[in-house]
Amino acid sequence: MPKTKTAEKSARSAERKAERNKAIKSGTKSKLTRAEKLIASKKGAEAGAAVTEAISSLDRAAKRNVIHANTAARKKSRLMKKLNASNKK
């Protein structure tokens, strides 16, 4: 239980930020999953568009400090690696 007024305000603020971050993180995960499924199903054009959308979402999440910048970079790299591998086959 917060003891001071500033601690109470900080707790309220943290709660709001956590809710916002959760929504951003969830949306990003959904876009990543969608892109990976399209890559696996060999739908080239659709997969490319989905990957672009997922990368954009990862960049926005990293910019807002919802996820660490290196985490975003790693996920983007792995996603592009999968897309490139599926295009070669």
Per-residue pLDDT of the chain (89 residues; tens, 9 = 90+): 888 999 999 999 999 999 999 999 999 999 999 999 999 998 888 999 999 999 999 999 999 999 999 999 999 999 999 999 998 86
- Which residues touch 65 (CB under 8 Å, ≥6 apart)? none
| Topology at the third CATH level for domain 18-88 | Methane Monooxygenase Hydroxylase; Chain G, domain 1 (1.20.58)
Cα–Cα distance, 73 to 18 (Å, whole number): 22
Cα–Cα distance, 53 to 31 (Å, whole number): 7
Domain layout of the chain by residue ranges: 18-88
